[in-house]
Amino acid sequence: MRLLHTSDWHIGRSLHGADLFGEQEAVLSGLARVVAAEGIDAVVVAGDVYDRAVPSADAQAVLDRVVGRLVGAGATVVLTPGNHDSARRLGTFSSLLTKAGLHVRAETARLDEPVLLTDAHGEVAVYGLPYLEPEIARHELGVPDARSHETVLRAAMDRVRADLFLRPGVRSVVMAHAFVGGGVASDSERDICVGGVDVVPASVFDGVDYVALGHLHRPQTLTDRLRYSGSPLGYSFGEAGQDKQVWLVDLDAGGLAGVRSVPLPVPRPLTVLTGLLDDLIADPAHTAAEEAWVSVRLTDPVRPADPMRALRGRFAHCVHLEWIGGSGGGDGRSYQERLRGRDDLDVAGEFVTHVRGGVGITAAERDLLARALGAAAREELTR
């Protein structure tokens, strides 16, 4: 059995307001060539198929065309929703789509019902775990006291292992959207837990042959059988220079036989330029950036007049500009850099402190903020 592990397509995402539909469709449709050339049996997408819970008509059309090409190339496609998706919307018509070769595993109550694939050695059970928001999933999984992502994922995996117990000799693959300990985040992921990243230990996934992880946009290997494929495109300038890929997973009669990376094309690279405006416009060393998505950090001691227009005269795809020179530059770090490693609750608390002239928040106020942020996150998930 040969699988292609992908995740975090984020169809519909933009880059500082610039449309990425063309780049997304080009890269994802190119997977059909990999399917044909490598004899892929199934393509799995471990969450964040869309970039928002209510995808646009254009985003839905891109997914329709991409999946059609993958199925047409001979692959079964298995999708699960991530924290950006609406599980209910993604699962619409799932029973009908199954007959066409597209399996959407979006229901928490049915996460222990695998997609069964067959090869010369027998069956492979592919379990798709939708993103499990603890406050909602704990009731569906029968663990009402659970408050963490780890607890609900353990309950989900207990169901998976119980089903596998009834399928002796069947090889297994689990798709999950989670932040697993040892993973390295990028700038472009949305935090999956209000008040801090809820890290899940790798041991939660013991007992299966391969775990196809989604959520982190940087491709990475936690163990031989536990991997993130990363996103197919760079979605923030913090990913500039990062190689994008998918994992080709081979299963033989004994289970996991091997995994290798398949590099993905880069339709338009991400580039960060730093310097004086006149130097950036004139320096021939930046010729390659003329065809890239560009983020510029200007170091001019005085803010130039209309610098974006001047920059786009050379760099047509310049989409982000930050002035870090003069007294407005602070310590020289970007807004994203100043927020890196901090959770929503810390940022909100600092804002309250700022507007109150330095008076910090109390424990009761911090609890109120945490509950408000949690309610907002749950409302977005249920849209």
- Please report the pLDDT score of residue 329 as a whole number: 44
pLDDT score of 166 more than 70: yes
Pairing of strands 115-119, 122-128: antiparallel
- Residue 28 has a pLDDT of 97
Model pLDDT for residues 270-287, shown as the tens digit of each residue: 999 999 999 999 999 999
Q: What integer pLDDT is reported at residue 377 of this predicted model?
A: 78
Q: Sorting pLDDT into bands at 50, 70 and 90, what band is 197?
A: very low
**pLDDT tens-digit map of 336-355:** 666 677 888 888 888 888 66
99 vs 112, more confident? 112
Give the pLDDT band of residue 202 (cuts 50, 70, 90): very high
Class of the CATH-defined domain 2-263? alpha beta
Q: What is the pLDDT of residue 349?
A: 86
Q: Is the pLDDT of residue 258 over 50?
A: yes
18-19 and 14-15 beta bridge pairing: antiparallel
Asked whether the predicted pLDDT for residue 196 surpasses 50, the reply is no
Q: Is residue 242 pLDDT above 50, yes or no?
A: yes
Asked whether residue 195 carries a pLDDT value surpassing 60, the answer given is no
CA distance 146 to 110: 19
Q: Stretch 329-333: mean pLDDT, rounded? A: 53
Q: Is the pLDDT of residue 30 over 50?
A: yes
What integer pLDDT is reported at residue 265 of this predicted model? 94
Give the model's confidence band at 190: pLDDT under 50 very low, under 70 low, under 90 confident, else very high.
Answer: low
Q: Rounded distance, CA 305 to CA 139, Å?
A: 56
Residue 229, pLDDT above cutoff 60: yes
Domain ranges of the chain: 2-263, 270-337, 342-381
pTM over 0.85: no
